[in-house]
Amino acid sequence: MLNKIEKAETDVLVIGGGPAGCWAAWNAVSAGMSVILIDKGYVGTSGATAAGNTTTIYTKRGTAERAATVDQRLRLGQGFAEQAVVETVLDRTVENLDLLAHWGYPFPTYEDGRPYRGMLRGPDYLRFMRQKLIKARVKILDHCPAEELLLSDGVVAGAIARYRRGGEALAIHAGAVVIASGGCAFLSGALGTNNLTGDGYLMAAEAGATLSGMEFSAQYGISPAYSSVTKGVVYFWGTFTNEAGDVLGEAGDRQSAVAQELIKGSVYAVLDKAPPRLQEGFRRGQPNIFVPFDRLGIDPFTERFPITLRHEGTVRGTGGLKIDARAGTTVPGLFAAGDAATRQAMSGATTGGGGPNSSWAMATGSWAGEDAAAFVKALGPLWRSRTVHRVSAVAASDRGEANDTVADVTDIVKQQILPVDRGFFRTAETLTAASQSLNALWADETWRSRRNARVREAEALIATARWVTESALLRRESRGLQRRLDHPEQNSALRKAIDTGGTDHIWTSYVSLSPQRMSHAS
């Protein structure tokens, strides 16, 4: 029952106001749907993209640049990226970037005056999209996090949300729902990720949705020890040293070399390989990288500074809700986009980084909006008369102030995931210990004595950590972001995806890749 709760109705409900959510809302309203867009924060300032600049991939099909980009995705995907998906994602990215230009978005230009569409300034981009949605009559509800989905005969039919300021619950009855709530960085402190706690994963899993690629979530970004900025491009021109000043070996990837040394002690970097012209370009293109240096009076191009690794999880990793060739999840009426959806077909077993992830958000967001609209049209007007029920057994009226142990619970989750010797490098021993601890937290009801947004976030963190841990335990090999010290080699027999799901009882299963993906396997 949904008594004593404010009610609303819309054709399409979009949960999450980052790039994927904005594109989903735009395409749904463009298809003639009424749309409500809700976000935990303020649409335009919350999320990873809003915190800085983001690269994009603007390459047209049939060009040498497109071929090189696709080849790179397939090579880095380590057997899991799919050429057809990469191509269609990049096609839609070109279309969307051209549409932004048509709308009047102020792209930068080359020195000869040609427009440069390989970079978007996050705050400007999302503020621009917000205004476009408002003019299109999308109803935006800021500071209104979703708590759970509504179902009707196994079909997703809306969601329960709650206003942060007043605490009032809102039941939104919808013909279709798009989850675009971002990934999960486990409150690591990485810039722009504090709101990204896996809420969408949990809501979808409670409704029966499947996740995939969760073991490919151990993405860590290099950042100054005193900064939250994990923009990694500048470190390609860096030299890394230990406390004694010895240069770290350059074999393998930078993150692994830094991670191995961080277990022993402090690590430092200096960006001494960047020529003056490139230094100037970095400062213009990624100014937020240099704010902490300037405040401390450090020249990062000539002076070494302490660095650390900050967990970025599925925000820059691969895992998320399993989708079809576009944006449909395994549950009718539910669509997923951006970091909320698994990027295995786009990025494989590795991080996509900025450009691929930005393109993925544009494309899947657009498809999610279009497909949600088509789903509603196929239902016809009778969807408004459906009987809906909550997924959770906990009524919204039971949700009040959380007790003081929620922070302790969150800290325990972070201890299982964030440390380099547990999250970056994995073993059966550390994973099994994490599994036992996380299962015990999930089963313990004492810290859930009162239910509010903090409790719900803690539940999402635990659930996401459990899917990550159980998937990593099942994959007994090292591949991409899955680094098993007890299984250091790739195993060609394990070139299969791992699906997972469930809440009270987590399940994991290998699933064969499509023949096309197998043909491009490394």
Q: Given strand 211-212, what is the order of strands in its sheet?
A: 320-321, 211-212, 497-501, 507-511
Task: Let me know how many helices (H) and strands (E) the chain has, helices first.
Answer: 15, 18
Q: How far apart are CA 169 and CA 163, in angstroms?
A: 7
Rounded to 5, what percent of the chain is helix, strand, coil?
40, 20, 40
Q: How far apart are CA 465 and CA 434, in angstroms?
A: 9
The closest alpha carbon to 197, from 386, 459, 17, belongs to 459
Q: How far apart are CA 447 and CA 460, in angstroms?
A: 14
What is 370-404 written as a DSSP string?
Answer: HHHHHHHHHH-GGGGG---EESSSS-GGG--PPPT
Residues 17 and 134: beta-carbon distance below 8 Å: no
Residue bearing tokens 């999610």: 368
Q: How far apart are CA 153 and CA 73, in angstroms?
A: 40
Q: How far apart are CA 223 and CA 228, in angstroms?
A: 7
Q: How far apart are CA 269 and CA 323, in angstroms?
A: 40
Non-local CB neighbours of 420 within 8 Å, separated by 6+ positions: 220, 259, 262, 263, 309
Q: Which of 254, 386, 450, 454 is catalytic?
A: 254
- Beta bridge partners, 499, equal 212, 509
In terms of C-beta density within 10 A (0-12 exposed, 13-18 middle, 19 or more buried), how is residue 277 classed?
A: exposed
Q: How far is CA 445 from the centre of its chain?
A: 28
Residues 31 and 138: beta-carbon distance below 8 Å: no
Non-local CB neighbours of 493 within 8 Å, separated by 6+ positions: none
Q: How far apart are CA 18 and CA 105, in angstroms?
A: 17
Q: How far apart are CA 38 and CA 139, in angstroms?
A: 8
Instruction: Indicate the DSSP class of residue 5.
Output: S
Residues 279 and 314: beta-carbon distance below 8 Å: no
343 flagged as catalytic? no
Structure tokens at 206: 């409670």
Length of the chain: 522
The closest alpha carbon to 308, from 224, 427, 393, belongs to 224
Q: Point out the residues that are catalytic.
A: 254
